[in-house]
Structure 1
């Protein structure tokens, strides 16, 4: 790559990523002032990510602007650390999300999920009392279960609905319990459950209880997390490729800066 081209590319790439980092930090500050504790729980990681991207970008920008080989070397080291971290996280994400899938049930358009099907990491996180207490409070606040009766006006509509994993696991008892559905938010619990599954006794029609304490609810959350993690892992894979190209351009820029310095001496 030409002597001026690599420096020009690195300079403008890092200028753009500086603007992106500022946007991420502003978003993190907005979340920190938001009253929803579910969103505020990820404030620090977002702020940390934004700050780290900003520092790397400004080092790379100044190094390219001044043709400073030392700053560019620091930039490359920091970028290499990011590449390694992304690679490790992506590999772990694919490993963790490798297990777990839904089970088809006759007469239902959606699948039901069992907690035992998922990886031990998911089991450890979801069976942790404090973790689940926080997640459960978020689920109740979102009112997904409460909104089902507003979306599906009739029992026929509800039975033919394609529920999400969280709706299927947290808003209703497992189908093996045999409770007849009266509507989208109410089941006839006077019937004796035909299954020994403990979730059958944990389910209540109360909007604050539902099946939030059930393993089926944890399994629904695990499936949701698995899907989200897979999307993040795929995004990280694409990001890794882009950053690898930027790293290569940065190496060229540093070599050019060293050559310019040596020709001046």
Structure 2
């Protein structure tokens, strides 16, 4: 077996081992039927892990036993997966471009509006009222506000609230005249 085939076989064997946790995570997400927060990641993670597993297996078998057909299929499949992941990366950057933040006079924090985000993001979040309720339920179920309580454990008077440099999550969890996390 040629040196390049040995290197390709070793790299694909490592990739094969690394895809096992990805597939397991996807199947674990798929088994969590009640978790609304993981709904979007259920099958895409399992499918992506399965595709990576098959591509790595084809690359390993093709390189180890010098099967030219499998190596050619491996190269085309890997090119397609890389192109798909690059397209997903560009889409993610385009969708999340812009923060929606604007300065509020007399306040140390910034306000956030949906109009500052991409059109796709606005349509996705605001297009279906149930979707926003699902996002809100995920934040509430994640104990984010309780974790923020441990980081910023103080009673917020209205003056403190308006002059505090809070993150968007902190300002959503903390309200004037309440303890953070109790809102």
Which of the five TM-score ranges fits, normalised by the shorter chain?
0.7 to 0.9
Aligned pairs for 1:93-172 (under 5 A) are: 93-106=92-105, 108-127=107-126, 128-145=128-145, 151-155=152-156, 159=161, 161-168=164-171, 170-171=172-173
Match of 1:64 in 2: 63
Give the gaps of 5 or more residues in structure 2.
none
1:161 Cα deviation (Å)?
Answer: 4.7
Radius of gyration: which is bigger? 1
CA contact (8 A) 1:152 1:158 kept: no
How far did residue 12 of structure 1 move? 0.9
Summarize deviations over 1:54-98 as a string: whole Å, max 9, x none.
000000000001111111011011111112212222222232233
Taking the aligned partners of 1:72 and 1:147, their CA distance within structure 2 comes to: 49
SS of equivalent residue, structure 1 residue 99: coil
Paired residues of 2:103 and 2:111 also in contact (CA < 8 A): yes
Q: 1:61 to 1:161 in 2, by over 3 A?
A: farther
Counterpart position of 1:183: 178
**Equivalent position of 1:36 in the other structure:** 35
Deviations 1:22-52 (A, max 9, x none): 1111222333444533135422111111111
Q: What do the CA deviations read for 1:121-142 (whole angstroms, capped 9, x no partner)?
A: 0100011223222212212222
The number of aligned residues is: 178
TM-score (norm 1): 0.58
Q: 1:63·1:72 contact (CA, 8 Å) conserved in 2? A: yes
1:1-265 paired onto structure 2 within 5 Å: 4-34=2-32, 36-106=35-105, 108-127=107-126, 128-145=128-145, 151-155=152-156, 159=161, 161-168=164-171, 170-171=172-173, 181-184=176-179, 207=183
Give the superposition deviation at 1:147: 5.6
CA-based RMSD: 2.9
Please give the alpha-carbon distance, in whole angstroms, between the structure 1 residues aligned to 2:115 and 2:174.
19
Segments of structure 1 that go 5 or more residues without pairing to the other structure are 174-180, 187-205, 208-265
**Other-structure match for 1:219:** none
TM-score, length basis structure 2: 0.80
